[in-house]
Chains A and B, each alone.
Chain A
């Protein structure tokens, strides 16, 4: 099931991406609407992170094209923000929390241009939105996993983008941070921003996302969450792992125990 939408923020046609001649994404087609929090859900190795990287031009597709706001990435780069997995960087890097958030402002600055006082203030404002302002001058090595994710979120906010792509923002964060992040994302969506989140916790997905995309190398389904997270489509996505699937069905009905890290 692939739901169509008018004036899509993200439009992908026939996208195929492979690593060392082994396909990771195969013939992906989708349109994603504006002003929604959208989850990309699928098992490990389904190509969720690769899809985000392809949208951001970090991996070169073999085939197909991607349009953001109806244009190519280079034309709208300043309106797009990418939040990598927090494990992708070295948190022992000598930098303060504020230093990292100011990096979000670099997108607006030209070559050799230095960040100004205004950029520092903007960065501090964004830190405030994620309740991290008191830690602005702390070294990033001293942060917990949840605080690291907040710093990355603040850096993304400092970019003042329209489209946000976030890779597993809820992995390794505490409950309070998870709640804070999803509240913030939903507020941003109400302001007309589009947020795409790679996620793998099925239970919370049903509550968090307006739209969902089920992915397992191919697009299984894209559309409003209640139409997508159905037992039949989940079976198709997680196909084969029947024992897990019956569990998923139970959990979707009962929603008592979190099937976290189920994939």
Chain B
């Protein structure tokens, strides 16, 4: 039963990350997930102090808000200080993560956080943290509810604003000229990224969130030619990554998160190699049109 829960939690985390990650990749912002996943640490520490439990909704909301602040800071350094975007990301997430580490060592007596747990997560323990309903009924792991709710939010965000998200991603200048607020959509996506990252890294860890945000979308990008298919295939690859990773971990008796990231990378490279191999056979030439 525990394995089933782990696979379910990992799949939910992977679907969330893959969907949001597809947009990040197409906007050349893939590394912003990395930045958020690290930079929210001080937010989690402070929120967990205030809420006295790192698992409460307050911690999630608090950390998510810090994530949005991080994207604002990156945008400020890039837009106002004229720093390269990758440098802006690098500066922000390192000092904020370091701030979080210092906060933890200062307040170690008051919190049960440790940076290693934040970086690598421990999905194997996630099923143990269950939600007990009235009358002592075991309603299943809390992470399932958090991630399912997050998925609902992400799905409605993407389905409702599919046209806005796609046009502001493909051609922001054009989107602005037809009256769309490109800044607003950018921050809406950053908000979704922030909450997705915070909700998932609690179970799988910051490093693996990055793997899930980037690898399944990148693989789907190789396989598909239209955005809605890229999103669906990325989500399916996310599930495959989660299931494959869990069983790989069981087989080698190792870290689940590590096995998932390995599976994600493996899927990408095997897809790429199979495609290269296929390309050797001659392709149908594209007919010119006049």
Contacts and interface: CB of A to CB of B under 8 A. Distances in A.
Interface of A: 53, 56-58, 74, 77, 80-82, 84, 88-90, 93-96, 99-100, 103, 106-107, 109, 111-115, 131-132, 134-135, 138-139, 141-142, 144, 147, 155, 159, 176
B174 A103 contact: yes
A135 B289 contact: yes
A198 to B, nearest CB: 14
Nearest to B82: A20
A56 B288 CA distance: 34
A106 B178 contact: yes
A139 B26 CA distance: 15
Interface size range of chain B in the complex? 20 to 34
Given A80-B177, A81-B177, A88-B173, 5 more contacts: A94-B26, A103-B163, A106-B178, A107-B179, A109-B163
A58 B163 contact: no
Contact of A96 (B174, B176, B179, B225): B225
Contacts of B290: 131, 176
A18 B86 CA distance: 26
Interface of B: 26, 160-164, 166-167, 169-171, 173-174, 176-180, 221, 224-227, 229-230, 286, 288-290
Contacts of B225: 94-96, 139, 141
B289 A84 contact: no
Main secondary structure of the interface of B (DSSP, over half): helix
Contacts of A159: 178
A109 B171 CA distance: 17
B174 to A, nearest CB: 6
A82 B174 CA distance: 7
Contact of B171 (A57, A88, A115): A88
Contact of A114 (B163, B167, B176, B230): B163
Given A82-B177, A84-B173, A94 B229 contact: yes
A153 B43 CA distance: 48
A94 B173 contact: no
Contacts of A82: 173-174, 177
A90 B164 CA distance: 17
Contact of B170 (A57, A74, A103, A141): A103
A95 B283 CA distance: 21
Given A94-B229, A99-B226, A132 B221 contact: no
B163 A95 contact: no
B198 to A, nearest CB: 26
A103 B227 CA distance: 13
Contacts of B229: 94
Nearest to B230: A94
A89 B171 contact: yes
Task: Find the residue from B163, B176, B221, B229 having the highest chain A CB count within 10 A.
Answer: B163
B270 to A, nearest CB: 20
Task: Find the residue from A107, A132, A155 having the highest chain B CB count within 10 A.
Answer: A107
Contacts of B224: 94
A93 B161 contact: no
B81 to A, nearest CB: 12
Contacts of A111: 164
